[in-house]
A and B are shown apart, each in its own frame.
Chain A
Amino acid sequence: MYYRCMGGRDTEKERGIDVLLRPELNTALTALADAVEEFAAQESLSGALPINLNLVLDELITNSVSYALTNVADPVLRLRLRRDGDMVVAEVEDNGAAFDPFKEAPKPDIEQGLDERPIGGLGVFLVMQLSETAHYERDGDTNRIILQMRMES
């Protein structure tokens, strides 16, 4: 637990989440569920937001662990959650090869029938649909995805 001094007033518990995840799927998704649970309690998140936050981060972390980080010698996977006004801001970083999922992942055609529907691209599509904003940036050797999700009023 971390504390910071607030200009002479009482100390206030540091808010937000900043964790390194072990890049193994089971461990990483369990740590994700714990992080979302802790953050949801900190910020009193309600309704569908905690489960949707878990889902979009599950999709991003699963992609990082299953694709981006598979051939990286010293894989790094980092999750940050914070609140900014009425938005939840989530960041996922990995040090895999540069990959912008919002540009490069296949886009599902949700109008296609059962037999024609390709099975890929659903995860990234869910991320884009459930997030208010979704950005990718490359920073040195780091892929960073920044999402905003609106808190229910």
Chain B
Amino acid sequence: MANQSSLTVPSTEQDDAVVLCPTGRVDGTNVTILQGAVRERLEAGQVRLVFDMVDLHYISSAGLRVLLMAARDLQAQGGKAVFCNLSEQIRQVFEITGFDKILAVHGNREDALAAL
């Protein structure tokens, strides 16, 4: 049986930024986990975030909303969100929804960190 709600968000600090690695799938059942991981960093005053999506295999609109709000909240606090290593499915939904135009998307983590 597929484990639908499998999502973890390991993080590391690198070059004065925080790299979040959402791992698994994000949908309406587990989106609060991603939301919580972002909020925790915001509350700690860490507003330069890289979302490295290398281990994220699936995202629904529930997850997209959280990414949009995260980018907005970080920007409001003088920070920035950048995204890298999108899977084919995630790249496609970013393109369809125009997220690729309003969010900073990069090919790999190095480029993402450099763009912060």
Chain A interface (Cβ within 8 Å of chain B)?
25-26, 29-30, 32-34, 37, 48, 51-52, 54-55, 58-59, 62, 66, 108, 110-115, 117, 119, 122-123, 125-126, 129-130
8 chain-A/chain-B pairs, Cβ below 8 angstroms = A26-B5, A32-B4, A34-B1, A34-B2, A54-B58, A110-B101, A117-B102, A125-B97
B108 interface residue per 8 A CB criterion: no
Does A48 contact B62, Cβ atoms closer than 8 Å? no
Contact A122 B61 (CB under 8 A): yes
Q: How far is the CA of A117 from the CA of B92 in the complex (A)?
A: 19
Report whether A114 and B102 are in contact in the complex, using a CB–CB cutoff of 8 Å: yes
Taken together as a complex, chains A and B put the C-alpha atoms of A55 and B93 apart, in Å, by 10
**CB nearest to A56 among chain B residues:** B60
Pick the 10 closest A-B CB pairs, nearest first.
A110-B98, A123-B61, A33-B2, A122-B61, A30-B4, A62-B28, A114-B102, A26-B29, A29-B4, A129-B96
Tell me the complex Cα distance, A58–B25, Å. Answer: 12
Q: Nearest CB to that of A115 among chain B residues?
A: B72
**What residues on B are CB-neighbors of A52 within 8 Å?**
89, 92
Interface size on B (CB < 8 Å)?
29
* B residues in contact with A112, CB < 8 Å: 102
> Is the CB–CB distance between A30 and B97 below 8 Å?
no
Tell me whether A114 and B103 are in contact in the complex, defined as CB-CB below 8 angstroms, given that A62-B62, A122-B64 are known contacts.
yes
Hey, which chain B residues are within 8 Å of A34, CB to CB?
Answer: 1-2
Contact A114 B72 (CB under 8 A): yes
Docked-complex contact B3 and A30, CB < 8 angstroms: yes
Q: A111 touching B98 by the CB < 8 A rule?
A: yes
Q: Do B58 and A110 have beta carbons less than 8 Å apart? A: no
